[in-house]
Amino acid sequence: MYRSRIIGTGHFLPEDKITNQDLEKMVDTNDQWIVERTGISARRKAKPEHGTSDLALFASKKALEAANLSAKDLDMIIFATITPDYTMPSTSCMLQQKLEASKCVSFDLGAACSGFVYGLSVADQFIKTGAKKNILVVGAEVLTRYVDYTDRGTCILFGDGAGAAVVSRNEDESDTAEFYSHHLYSDGHLSDLLTLKAGGSVLPVTYEVLEQRENFVKMNGREIFKHAVRAMSKCSSEALEANKISLDDISWIIPHQANTRIIEATAKHLGASMDKVVVEIEDMGNTSAATVAVALDKAVRDGRIQKGQNILLTAFGAGLTSGSLLFKY
């Protein structure tokens, strides 16, 4: 079995912002409520000419540069998103074309906000077995095109962004970096709590479907909140137990950035100090599959994450899906 390691990360957040003050003009809400209940002040909005693969391209180029690899070195692209460029072809193929990653296989992965953690886990399997050497894992979304700006329960949360990581076979005996474990879960019984239904085979886009606003994200926020805390703390605890690693030996926890209160409650359940939790939600909002990838890259680039540290990722999303990934950087 080979060891996997992350050798480069990158992210891209569009410059344009939707601030709490902007939202005050659209729905019955206010800056104080949003900040206190979510920790979010602004979300990013992609330029009209950009689709999800464009945001992913910007993030991927940075990740490849950090990894000191060319797109031609990639064996695989795993693209996690719930906001694909098109239903067909896959967004991973659009990215492959834009990157000119000629020799790789690429596919999309649908696990909503848990998608990046799922993607890293899948990459690890291909690397461990020796089947692939260099895999680009991307989490990217243009959620502002699917947000109902008349629904104050969701429009305050979601934004656009992309993050990417290059996962490679670690052939350097002196480098201790490796993926220790992943614990992934899904519970389809609770699928109705968070949906985006229009455009699929069950609800093709019709006037009726648009009238019912099924082309927008719908969420039972209170229920999702409870499940998010439970699920992320459960799979994080499992990661620690499975590897006999204590919280003291973890340098950074990077949870899905959905809501600061969810992050704080998860840390409390785990018994972790917020000092070792990466929180990057204030200026980007919830970017679904991109949140963990963006937060990871920010923490790498500003020096919080250092070689040799143990890092715990955990995510939760529609499905319901959840997962954790523990690795040495």
Pick from 16, 19, 37, 301 the residue near ligand UT7 by CB under 6 A. 37
The CB-of-222 to ligand UT7 minimum distance in angstroms stands at 5
Residue 275's φ and ψ, nearest 5 degrees, are -60, -25
Which of 93, 104, 113, 155 is labelled catalytic? 113
Q: Which is nearer to ligand UT7, 56 or 289 (CB)?
A: 289
Q: Contacting ligand UT7 (CB under 6 A), which of 39, 51, 317, 319?
A: 317
| Minimum CB–partner distance for residue 13 and ligand UT7 (Å) | 17
CB of 140 closer than 8 Å to CB of 163: yes
Q: Which of residues 131-170 bind ligand UT7 (CB under 6 A)?
A: 152-153, 156-157
| Of residues 89 and 221, the one with the C-beta less far from ligand UT7 | 221
Interacting span for ligand UT7 (CB under 6 A) from 83-91, 159-167, 184-192, 255-263: 255-263
The structure tokens 């992965």 sit at 109
Report, in Å, the least distance between residue 68 CB and ligand UT7: 33
> What is d(CA 105, CA 90) in angstroms, rounded to the nearest whole number?
12
Number of residues counted as binding ligand UT7 (CB under 6 A): 20
What residues from 288 to 307 belong to the interface with ligand UT7 (CB under 6 A)?
288
End-to-end C-alpha distance for the chain, whole angstroms: 18
* Residue 232 binds ligand UT7, judged by CB under 6 A: no
256 is catalytic: yes
CB of 40 to ligand UT7, least distance (A): 9
Contacting residue, 145, 221, 238, 269, with ligand UT7 by CB under 6 A: 221
Q: Which of 49, 189, 201, 222 forms a contact with ligand UT7 (CB under 6 A)?
A: 222
Could you give the CA distance from residue 143 to residue 206 in angstroms, rounded to a whole number? 21
Nearer to ligand UT7, 98 or 218 (CB): 218
Report the C-alpha gap between 9 and 110 in whole angstroms.
21
When the beta carbons of 8 and 161 are compared against ligand UT7, the nearer one is 161
Pairing of strands 310-317, 321-328: antiparallel
Which residue is catalytic, options 182, 183, 227, 256? 256
CB-wise, 91 or 286, nearer to ligand UT7? 286
Q: Which of 9, 34, 295 is nearest to 138 (CA)?
A: 9
Q: What is the DSSP string of 113-166?
A: GGHHHHHHHHHHHHHHTTS-SEEEEEEEEEGGGG--TT-TTTTTTB-EEEEEEE
- Taking CB atoms, the residue at the shortest distance from ligand UT7 is 221
Residue 14: asked if its preceding bond is cis (omega within 30°), the reply is no
* Helix 221-243 vs helix 260-270: crossing angle, to nearest 10: 40
Query: Going by C-beta distance under 8 Å and a sequence separation of 6 or more, which residues neighbour residue 29?
Result: 20, 23, 152, 156
Tell which positions 5-34 bind ligand UT7, by CB under 6 A. Answer: 29, 33
| DSSP annotation string for 7-20 | EEEEEE--S-EEEH
Positions in the binding site for ligand UT7 (CB under 6 A): 29, 33, 37-38, 113, 152-153, 156-157, 221-222, 224-225, 228, 258-259, 262, 286, 288, 317
Active site residues per annotation? 113, 256, 286
